[in-house]
Amino acid sequence: MTSLHLRVAIVGAGPAGIYAGNILAHSVSDAGGTVVIDLFDSLPAPYGLIRYGVAPDHPRIKGIVNSLHEMLDAGSIRFIGNVEVGRDLTIDDLQERYDAVILATGAIRDAALDIPGIDLPGSHGAADFVAWFDGHPDVPREWPLDAAAVAVVGNGNVALDVARMLAKHSVDLRSTEVPDNVLAGLEGSAVTDVHVFGRRGPLDVKFTPIELRELGEVRDVDIVLADEDFAELELAAGSSNQLKVILRTFQAWRTRGTTGASRRLHLHFWHAPVSVLGEERVEGMRFERTAADADGIVRATGELRDIPVQAVYRAVGYYGTPVAGAPFDAVRGVIPNAQGRVIDAAANALPGLYATGWIKRGPVGLIGHTKSDAMETIGHLVADAIAGVLAAPAVDGDVLDLLDERDIAFTTWDGWLALDAHERQLGAAHTHTRERVKVVPRDEQVEISRADTLALS
């Protein structure tokens, strides 16, 4: 193999970008080559949706964060935060300075739910709510929690996260890293009933058994199921163990019934959303009852049902984040690519430009898929480098000099370690001891992250 000496920029410091950088570093090193990798993110802190897109009461997320931390702390990847590619730097800026650019911007916006009334006040995207309770710096600090009855449309893990966070009592979140402004907002919540609606049946859900079981562990919240949704429900021969666990969980809840808890979480199946009801704001949702035919295809029955709610959260999927200067498929919400090589409208590969993660394949799959996805993309990048397809950088200088020139207050890995330590100190000093308390304002994050840099300047 030809000895490789590469400079590569990765845009997006979530799992997809970090895994791609780690796999690239090992692939080139194992082959006797060298690679310089710069990892850019528009946020001051790394980890993407792991920090800002997952409910804070998931303890297993800590293991993923620890793994990502080790990859960045190894020193083979340079983190450069608070830099938005398309605004602070262009794709051209990067391609002039690097042999290759990998886009790993993910999907952080809600997919549309195109039904009448969806834009009424009181109707929200699940991604926006998740960003709020995770302390994302670019969303408002307050969230309206004045509805007693709430509808969550969707049957995936995000829908369950949203439903659980709405139903959960704030006192039970005090030990998590949820920001103080979020705790204060949840303490004043008027929610008593959360209704989760799925278009298909109980055995066609998209969430995992772990997510489902977590619902039943929420204190002072009853799970309410409708017998009609489980009529003639049988597992097909050869059903997966995962599906068996899900059905056992449902059956256990049906047997247990309600306990008189102060909050209720209703799981509705065979309900297709038709419209959001209301004049000035959300007053309810209209659904059409569905059923599976002999071939297992879900069809409408013509039976309409109106459910009174005062707020609606759509959790029907995410939509990819485009990057200015790169092609984008607005229908699929991805950067068009052939196995990770970015392509133009004529399906020709654009030399030196790659994609990985959700922006490559759409917002589906778990962390394991992200790793295999990155391996495919990196495999093609390395093959292109060996084949001499990549153009050598036209500009020699360090990109940090360009950022300084443009007066961009970028953050670094050392800056993240300082912010991380600061948040942990806030947690330790809290009345209710917590692992960390997130710093929410962007300017405050940047100030803490750049304190040592400013002291030396």
446 within a domain of the structure (yes/no): no
Are 14 and 139 part of one and the same domain?
A: no
230 CB-side CA count, 13 A: 15
Q: Is 239 helix (H, G, I), strand (E, B) or coil?
A: coil
For residue 109, the model assigns a pLDDT of 87
Examine the domain organization and report whether 124 and 233 are in the same domain.
yes
Is 430 inside any structural domain? no
Let me know if residue 420 belongs to a domain. no
Are 211 and 231 in a shared domain?
Answer: yes
Check residue 414 and give its pLDDT.
97
Helix axes 180-187 and 126-133, enclosed angle (nearest 10): 120
Boundary of a domain, candidates 316, 348, 382: 316
Which residue has better confidence, 51 or 236? 51
Q: Residues 122, 45: one domain?
A: no
What pLDDT shows up at residue 197?
A: 97
User: How many domains does the chain fold into?
Assistant: 2
**CA-to-CA distance for 65 and 3, rounded, in angstroms?**
33
Q: Do residue 117 and residue 257 come from a single domain?
A: yes
Asked whether residue 205 falls in the same domain as residue 178, the answer is yes
- Residue 213 main-chain phi, psi, to 5 deg: -60, -35
Residue 364 in domain:
yes
Band of pLDDT at residue 422, cut at 50, 70 and 90? very high
| Whole-angstrom distance, CA of residue 213 vs CA of residue 316 | 21
Q: Which residue has the tokens 């990048």?
A: 381
Average pLDDT over residues 396-425: 96
Number of Cβ atoms within 10 Å of the Cβ of 299:
11
- Mean pLDDT to the nearest integer, 405-424: 96
Give the mean pLDDT of 309-318. 95
pLDDT average, residue stretch 354-374: 86
Mean of the pLDDT values across residues 427-447? Answer: 88
Q: Indicate the pLDDT class of residue 103, thresholds 50, 70 and 90.
A: very high
Domain at 311, CATH number: 3.50.50.60
Examine the domain organization and report whether 298 and 375 are in the same domain.
Answer: no
Mean pLDDT value across the chain: 92
Q: How confident is the model at residue 55 (pLDDT cuts 50, 70, 90)?
A: confident
Q: What is d(CA 335, CA 322) in angstroms, rounded to the nearest whole number? A: 7
The answer as to whether 324 is a domain residue is yes
pLDDT of 306 over the 90 cut: yes
**Shortest CA distance to 7 belongs to which of 128, 96, 121?**
96
- Cβ within 8 Å of residue 40, ≥6 positions away: 9, 10, 11, 12, 13, 80, 81, 83, 85, 89
**Sorting pLDDT into bands at 50, 70 and 90, what band is 359?**
very high
Query: Quick check: is 132 in a domain?
Result: yes
> Quick one: pLDDT at residue 59?
65
Report whether pLDDT(455) > 80. no
Q: Tell whether 104 and 140 lie within a shared domain.
A: no
Tens-digit pLDDT profile for residues 31-44: 889 999 999 999 99
The least confident of 111-115, 162-166, 237-241, 345-349 is 237-241
Same domain, 97 and 218: no
First to last CA, the chain: 44
> Regarding predicted confidence, which is higher, 211 or 455?
211
CA distance linking residue 428 with residue 42, whole number of Å: 28
Q: Is residue 419 part of a domain?
A: no
pLDDT at 157 over 90: no
From 283, 316, 349, give the residue that closes a domain. 316
297 and 328 assigned to the same domain: no
- Examine residue 75 and state whether it is found in any structural domain, yes or no: yes
Whether the predicted pLDDT of 1 surpasses 50: no
**Of the residues 266, 282, 316, which one is the last residue of a structural domain?**
316
Q: Are residues 16 and 123 in the same domain?
A: no
Q: Identify whether residues 239 and 127 lie together within a single domain.
A: yes
Here the CATH number for the domain that contains residue 16 is 3.40.50.720
pLDDT at 232: 73
Q: Which domain holds residue 220?
A: 112-316
